[in-house]
Structure 1
């Protein structure tokens, strides 16, 4: 890999502040690529190295949806779900950040060399808390998993055995207070024991492409659809309503605005046919909104 390398100490202005949430924040981040990518809104997508065809397909969908929603995809770049998600994000024109368990200048595994290289070339980065040239060592990967969880607002777990590196990432995300999404799998599949357990313990269940899109809309205020450039408020309010029909007071609390402001916005949208008020007082996007092509163009 040939690109500009960087080192970010904890005193550096570009050091990701989210890493300070770790019990033992790394003193230095070593990387190749664009250090500013570490400050983009991002989602970690992780899963089994021995992914099933189902897991690989879900990883590809997840990477694409995240990229089309304007999120950087963070993974370990490992064989299986990690690399599949990162490839799909890159193919969709998104940003990929690889957190390596080796030195940032060491490609491991070699089967993911294209993901490492493209992540750097597409304004993303390959980063590590290990020194330059460090080879893969078993003890380094749990530390790496903590960094993946800390860098991301949410972690999506696709396939994971009960005792696995993927589950260690999920556990750290939970400990750090990050959001946790999990994809259900067959009760007979060893690769889904961990994910099914996460769902049982309260992780947001992702059963479809739309489920992931809705979680991102709600948790990131990121609409996968193009927004009206003349009304920035539409992105925040409509993304929340697309995720879940909501009462005006709950919406105001979620978005940090006054109820009067939100009611005024909702009244305007209702007059324009964009939202409807349900019998229980919640507001929901209207059928007209969903069918209006100029507001529903998927980002390419």
Structure 2
């Protein structure tokens, strides 16, 4: 059974970075490694209803952080949060999940595997006492703690009006560094990240740039650096830019719609595209991860 603990403000293990908040929590409850706050920490946030692109970005960012020996902080929610935590653990790193309920309450249920693993290689923490159920007003407070814990905040995917954006605004107010990964100008879930870049957040155009930024900001040794991804087909390039229906894709590429439908069917069978409920097609998470793996292999061949 993982260790339970509760740190009062001002005690030895209470994270000093939380003192930057306007209203620091009086008590921090947790399960897992009670010394986890002594490690370098990076927060990763993103959309709950994330696209495959957003999930792949969260996984990539967490993996790079783990490679640099940096603990990943997230909210443990569905979507980008859960993807980031699981990816950090899969890469041999550590993660902290900050909940909007008691640290011993599993919410959402879909993140049960993350919480179970996090208490062994990190911690699950909360501002609320044991057994407290999730409440709507608790999540803005939770988001502020996520922003405060990491000296850097990575925003993977976010709408303009979202909890992710409020977390980014809090991080900026606290003087934390904010990284934002750009997305399609046609994607509502990338509108927030693109706006952050416009407003001055550090743009992260690729994995190698993220690794370099973490090395500079944390004084970490970069264990892996990725080169640019391999060239993509015209179809995949178009779908990466913006999900669309077969007839829209045919018009954009100047191709026969029946030919493109056969191509999309083949790609769907290969699990590199998926059909959304509204009939549009978009690259899968597996496709985006495959690009990174290809880049890894290409670099290894040059070593």
Map of 1:252-267 to 2, 5 A cutoff? none
1:119 matched to 2:118: yes
Number of the residue aligned with 1:96: 95
Matched residue, 2:80 = 81
Shift of 1:225: 2.7
How far apart are the structure 1 equivalents of 2:144 and 2:94?
Answer: 20
Contact 1:45 1:155 in 2 (8 A): yes
The counterpart of 1:155, out of the listed 149, 153, 156, is 153
Residues 1:5 and 2:32 aligned together: no
Partner of 1:129: 127
Deviations 1:189-209 (A, max 9, x none): 111111000000010111111
Tell me how far 1:12 sits from its aligned partner. Answer: 1.0
Alignment of 1:1-300 (within 5 A): 2-122=1-121, 124-225=122-223
On the 8 A contact 1:61/1:209 being kept in 2, the answer is yes
d(CA) in 1 for partners of 2:134, 2:86: 22
Residues in 2 aligned to 1:60 and 1:225: alpha-carbon distance in whole angstroms: 16
Shift of 1:132: 1.0
How far did 1:91 drift?
Answer: 0.3
Structure 2 distance, partners of 1:35, 1:18, is 15
Q: For the Cα contact (< 8 Å) 1:3–1:120, is it kept in 2?
A: yes
Unmatched segments (≥5 aa) in structure 1: 227-292
Q: Residues 225-262 of structure 1: CA distance to partner in whole angstroms, max 9, x if unpaired? A: 39xxxxxxxxxxxxxxxxxxxxxxxxxxxxxxxxxxxx
Contact 1:103 1:132 (C-alpha < 8 Å) held by counterparts:
yes
Question: Structure 1 stretches (4+) deviating beyond 6 angstroms?
Answer: none
Cα deviation per residue 1:30-77 (whole Å; 9 max; x = unaligned)?
Answer: 000112102210100110001101011111111111000000000000
Distance in 2, matches of 1:192 and 1:199, equals: 11
What is the CA–CA distance in structure 2 between the aligned matches of 1:187 and 1:101, rounded to whole Å?
A: 31
Output the CA distance in 1 between the equivalents of 2:113 and 2:197: 33
**Which digits, 9 at most, give the CA deviation of each residue in 1:93-145, with x for residues without a partner?**
000100001100011111111111101112x0000001111111110000000
Which shifted more, 130-139 or 16-25? 130-139
In structure 2, C-alpha distance between the alignment counterparts of 1:11 and 1:21, rounded to whole Å: 13
Measure how far apart 1:168 and its partner are: 1.1
Matched residue SS, 1:121: coil
Please, which moves more after superposition, 175-184 or 30-39? 30-39
Unmatched runs of 5 consecutive residues or more in structure 2: 225-299
Output the CA distance in 1 between the equivalents of 2:70 and 2:223.
13
> Within 1, Cα distance between the matches of 2:113 and 2:222?
26
Secondary structure of residue in 1 paired with 2:22 = coil
3-state SS of 1:212 partner: helix
Q: Structure 1 length normalisation: TM-score?
A: 0.74
Q: Which sits farther off after the overlay, 33-42 or 22-31? A: 33-42
Is contact 1:70-1:224 (8 Å) kept?
no
RMSD of aligned residue pairs (Cα, Å): 1.7
